Amino acid sequence: MSEQATAVRYGDLGLAVGTPEIKSVGPIAFGPDGILFVADNASAAIFALGLGPAGPRPDSLAYDIEDLDARLASRLGCSRGDVSIRDIAVCPLTKEVYLSVMRGNGSGAIPVIARVEADGQVVDVPLEGVPFASTTIEDAPDPGDERIDTLVLPDDSAEGEEFKTGSGIRLRLLRDGLRTVTVTDLDYVDGVLLVAGASNEEFSSTLRRIPFPFNGAAQSNSLEIFHVSHGQYETASPIRTFVPYNGGGSILASYTCTPIVQFSLSELEPATHVMGSTVAELGSMNSPTDMVAYRRDGEEYLLVSTARLPLVRIACADIDGQEALTEPDEPVGVPREALDHPGVVRMANLDEGSVVMLQQDGAGPVSLRSYECASL
């Protein structure tokens, strides 16, 4: 698309040129037309940034970059310890790797979106004068919902934020700053942004569905997803990471407490008691960090990275054929294989034939490497 056509397209998608007030960057994911979704947990919002038009595709689609964190430190003018890489995503148009990065800590922390160039240079993406849109990730304000922890303010109040309700009423609301939602993962499937988050107060498992383009009138809805351990106990828990597969029809999610749970996106209706099927457990004191789906020899596979165990591969065909786990020890769920890629913390599909991984051994340097699906 030409620059002009991209600008028109972004306008159609509700993006307006300006400077997004991003306070922090967390999970990121690409949507249509080179739009990057960025979760900002400090301001409880998701930003859609128009990063197009598509540049030329690099000749080589392979990455083998050592010292990614030191490269970022060089560009951002800080020490390596002040660089915190939060997530990676690959632009489907250019196949370039983007990173969400926090530079520094505390009140001096600066959110950065960075791009890895083909020659290994890492550059920060200017966030002034970019097409963008944003939406809130807290409970959508609905005057009919008595459970909102918000205070309605007079219209002329300088405090709070303005919201437009489904019926077009404008309200100024002061949100309770104590209760927050921290986005743990997000993904875009067919016009809908799926957002998993954890509350700092109540213990729950909600998956928000936010239609894109963002539209104040269209309420985002939340699905509460439970899982059963071994046919006996049912609980909810925050979703730590998830991945759509099967063309977006199914979701594989991993909870903070490590069971891997499958559910079908098409069966999900708002305000229903959704029961996911527990297909595997990862074991104790181990938290999942990321998941990715890919195809090899016509079959679909999933990779799950965890804090302490090796990278795990699961065949999707095995998930679909798996009965929900009923016993804690035997069987242990779907067959899975350990891969010998050490220290994988984040993953993303580079293209149909390869997966890119962010790897770090302990507190050592961070590297970015791509692997052909045929080797995974």
Instruction: Give the separation between CA 255 and CA 287, rounded to whole angstroms.
Output: 8
Q: Residue 26 CB, nearest distance to another protein (Å)? A: 8
Under 8 Å between Cβ of 150 and 140: no
Q: What is the arrangement of strands in the sheet containing 110-116, beginning at the earlier edge strand?
A: 83-90, 97-103, 110-116, 122-124
**Nearer to another protein by C-beta: 177 or 298?**
177
Q: Residue 200 CB, nearest distance to another protein (Å)? A: 4
**Nearer to another protein by C-beta: 75 or 295?**
75
**Nearer to another protein by C-beta: 12 or 327?**
327
Q: Residue 106 CB, nearest distance to another protein (Å)? A: 3
β-pair partners for 127: none
Chain centroid to Cα 276, Å, comes to: 20
**Nearer to another protein by C-beta: 204 or 219?**
204
Q: Residue 120 CB, nearest distance to another protein (Å)? A: 5
Q: Residue 7 CB, nearest distance to another protein (Å)? A: 25
**Nearer to another protein by C-beta: 236 or 355?**
236
**Nearer to another protein by C-beta: 164 or 273?**
273
